[in-house]
Structure 1
Amino acid sequence: MRLFLMLALVSALVTFVGSIAVWKLGLKYKLYPKIRDRDVHTRPTPRLGGVAMFVGILAAFGVAWLVSMIDSATFAQLEIVFADPFQVPAILIAALLIVVMGVADDLWDLDWMTKLAGQFIVAGLIAWQGVSIVSLPIGGPDGGIIVGSSWLFATLTVFTIVLVMNAINFIDGLDGLVAGVALIANGVFFLYTYLLVQKTSPFNYFNLASIIAVVVVGACIGFLPLNWHPARLFMGDAGALLVGLLMATSAVSVTGQINPGSLEVGELFPAFIPIILPFAVLIVPLLDFGLAVVRRLRAGKSPFSADRGHLHHRLLDMGHSHLGAVLVFYGWTAVVSVGCLLAFVFPVYFGIPSWVAFALLAAGVVVLLVLTLAPLGRRRRLGAAADLGAGESGSETPSPAGLPADGR
């Protein structure tokens, strides 16, 4: 565990220092776009935080590789992550390409077809170099695992990565929103992969999914101080697409390294966690993405055309403050992802049935629904009070010349 903590710390520190440097350079050379109608912020703000996050993530991977080479006796198991000479380099090259494209979009506003083509290219690069879905726990003779065509799963991998990248990018509209959601989601996913590897391979705690998740956690921690409301620096498309790319890659890599069918658990649900948990930690971005696509297609627009109808915009319109809307997103991400994690932890480690975790999840959902909808009730009460006050004022104050109280 200490190596994971060290990697997170390296990623956080390098990202933080890089964020300060990028922020100062962005202000000095005016590397920021004009404020758009749909934007929530009111002052020009640099959008190149994704560059700093990439440098932090790259530094953490570099430290992991050096540790595996220098202290191979202590961290011999870490060599498994770098055993394939092309896998990790392909991920980092794909990350670099998506950051370059994101920076170009942040500065010059690329058209959506160019961006989508770039996303498919980087996703294809990752799938081509072996980070691909290879099995699904949906039936089959080998412990509930079914293995399909490599082309089928490579295609599924590409579309999954592109979907997650766009889902993360779509919610990037409030200060601290994506960084905080990604911090919670990757933190939960790291715990899951770490605990699952302990259970399925007790002599090797290291795997690609855990390392990716923990370095993304570090990058988000390092970036948040400059991105917290009021933000001095945005991660931009470069950062949002980078985070989405790595989150999807982490989730995909689990299926190639871990056989959940080897768990000796009397329930079926834990075997489905590799499929369910990635979607659970991304429940809010995926919901926003789906609603946006449907909304824009119904209006006869491109599904990637910008508008002011995202969930965070709706929360602001409901009456939530900027911070309140962000905390609502954090709450939904934490409740759903932790609830699914407990559905794995309870039966595997404590012998507690999964339904207890689902009961806690349901209770959390009820609480969050109340908190999410609270501004609507407050607005209704204020409106009723205002109407009552206006009525009382009209009945007690005589109008001049015998006219009605409204002057008409």
Structure 2
Amino acid sequence: MLYGIVAAVAALLMTAVLTGFVRKLALRAGLVDRPAVRKAHTRPTPHLGGVAVVAGTVTVVCTGYAPLGPGIAPLLAAAGAVALIGLVDDLKPLGARPRLAVETGAAITVVYGSGLSVAAAVLAVGWIVLITNSFNLLDNSDGAMSTVGVVTALGLALCAAAEGRASLALLLCVLAAALTGFLTQNWHPARIFLGDCGSLFTGFVLASAAVLVHTGHDALPSAVGLFALTVVVTADTALVLLSRRRARRPVFIGGTDHVAHRLRRLGFTVPGAAVVLGAVAFAGVLTGVLVHRGVMGPMAVTPLMLAMVAGVWGLLKVRVYAPAGGRRPARPRVAKVAHPRSPRTAARRSRTAADLARG
């Protein structure tokens, strides 16, 4: 217990310090998001904060504070590969194919040897890739993804501890602490963003851990638990896909149509949107943990699922897209009202017209 607390504190402090250092380097190198990308900001902001999160997590785990246990080394190696492709994408944007290829290979590395059947392993790989990118999509508002990541990591740590996977639980606690250290500079107004490196790394570790802690359980409770633990990113991804499909917009092009953006259009502040997402994530994680422990049955997730469907349906009605073609609605024409002229003005204009006609 004391060992885990020391490791978590070390990760928090190290990540907080590294985040400030990375921010200064990114500013000097010009690696920033422009205000047009993050509308809550009026000045360019660095987007390489994920480097600090990855470095803080991996350093603490690999230097003896949180020793590697069985199965942790392959998971960290796979997550490191995903973080690396994310860093490359931060420095020079890549297409979706290279990223998906690396993520799929990394997911196969985690699932291989887990004891899952072939069909279950294929579904697990696809689910890990989906949730990894869903966490990446959630990194669109100050503090949102970091808050959800902390809550999800702590919930999964409880599940891992209950399964006797002490090393995995310790890794998740270290990740939660690293995200907390990063959150000190990512809370609104954010001084730095995670970027693809950090969001993909976090999403991959959490998705992989969720699969590992549910391995060996019945199919229905496992599926229900996976949904509950990731309800926020699942809802955000579903909302974006549905809204862009309806608006006939490209799926892989970023936009301000996520849950956090729509909450702000409804009147929430930027920190308020992050708190709402964190609260929903807590409700989902609590439900997922109770289902995993057998305290509640799979049907207990029904209210959560109905709430997610209602929330997505309601947020779809929030207008976030400009009219087709980017044109603004035409202003109504105002009819000109003829003002009566004074006799003196009319006489002057008549004389002027007569003079011009003469010559």
TM-score class normalised by the smaller sequence: 0.7 to 0.9
1:400 paired residue number: none
Give the structure 2 partner of residue 46 of structure 1.
46
Per mean C-alpha deviation after superposition, the further-off stretch among 27-36 and 247-256 is: 27-36
Aligned match of 1:75: none
Match of residue 34 from structure 2: 34
Does residue 311 of the first structure (1) align with residue 270 of the second (2)?
Answer: no
Alignment match, 1:341: 289
Instruction: For structure 1, list consecutive stretches of 5 or more residues without a partner in the other structure.
Output: 69-77, 136-147, 198-204, 262-270, 348-352, 377-408
Equivalent in the alignment of 1:215: 174
Q: Which of 179, 184, 187 is the aligned partner of 1:225? A: 184
Alpha carbons of structure 1 residues 18 and 38: separation in structure 2 relative to 1, 3 Å: closer
Q: 1:59 corresponds to which residue? A: 59
Cα deviation for residue 250 of structure 1 reads: 0.7
SS of structure 2 residue aligned to 1:18: helix
Provide the secondary structure at the position in 2 that maps to 1:20. helix
Q: Does 1:321 align with 2:280?
A: no
Residue equivalent to 2:102 = 118
CA contact under 8 A between 2:38 and 2:141: conserved in structure 1?
A: no
Q: Does 1:105 align with 2:89?
A: yes
> 2:154 is matched by which residue type in structure 1?
G
Name the larger-Rg structure: 2
Q: Could you tell me how far 1:106 is from its partner in structure 2?
A: 2.0
Pair 1:281 & 2:229 matched: yes
Question: If the length of structure 1 is used for normalisation, what is the TM-score?
Answer: 0.68
Alpha carbons of structure 1 residues 37 and 346: separation in structure 2 relative to 1, 3 Å: closer
CA offsets per residue over residues 127-152 of structure 1, 9 Å max, x none? 34x3x4x35xxxxxxxxxxxx33xx3
Asked if structure 2 preserves the Cα contact closer than 8 Å seen for 1:33 and 1:106, the reply is no
Identity %: 30
| Structure 2 equivalent of residue 153 of structure 1 | 120
Give per-residue Cα distances to partners, 1:260-306, cap 9 Å, x unaligned: 57xxxxxxxxx855433332121011111122223333444443222
Superposed displacement of residue 239, structure 1? 0.7
How many angstroms apart in 2 are the aligned matches of 1:2 and 1:167? 34
* Among candidates 155, 166, 169, match of residue 188 of structure 1: 155
**1:280 and 1:354 mapped to 2: Cα distance?**
12
**C-alpha distance in 1 between matches for 2:292 and 2:98:** 40
3-state secondary structure, aligned to 2:32 = coil
1:281-300 map, 5 Å: 281-300=229-248
CA-CA distance at 1:309 after TM superposition = 1.4
Asked if 1:95 corresponds to 2:62, the answer is no
Cα deviation, residue 67, structure 1? 6.5
Aligned to 2:144: 177
- TM-superposed CA distance for 1:23, in Å, is 1.1
2:4 aligns with 4
Q: Alpha carbons of 1:289 and 1:315: their partners in 2 closer, same or farther (altered >3 Å)?
A: same
Instruction: Tell me by how many angstroms 1:344 deviates.
Output: 5.5
1:13 equivalent in structure 2: 13
Q: 1:105 Cα deviation (Å)?
A: 1.9
| Deviation for aligned residue 1:37 | 4.7
Q: Deviations over 1:18-74 (max 9, x none)?
A: 11110111122222243335643221111111111111111222145x775xxxxxx
| Shift in Å, 1:249 | 1.2
Between the aligned partners of 1:277 and 1:233, the Cα distance in structure 2 is 33
Equivalent runs, 1:308-387 vs 2, <5 Å: 308-343=256-291, 347=295
- Counterpart of 2:36 in 1: which secondary structure? coil
Q: Distance in 2 between matches of 1:290 and 1:39?
A: 22
SS class of match (1:109): coil
Please give the root-mean-square deviation of Cα atoms over the aligned residues, in Å. Answer: 3.1
Q: Is the 8 A contact 1:212 1:246 kept in 2?
A: no
Query: Does structure 1 retain, via aligned residues, the 8 Å contact 2:221–2:297?
Result: no
Q: Which residue of 2 aligns with 1:246?
A: 205
Aligned residues: 311
CA contact (8 A) 2:225 2:292 kept: no
**Cα distance between partner residues in 1 of 2:100 and 2:2:** 39
TM-score norm. by structure 2 comes to: 0.76
Q: Distance in 2 between matches of 1:50 and 1:176?
A: 13
Equivalent-residue separation in structure 2 for 1:29 and 1:168 (angstroms): 26
Inter-partner Cα distance in structure 1 for 2:61 and 2:245: 40
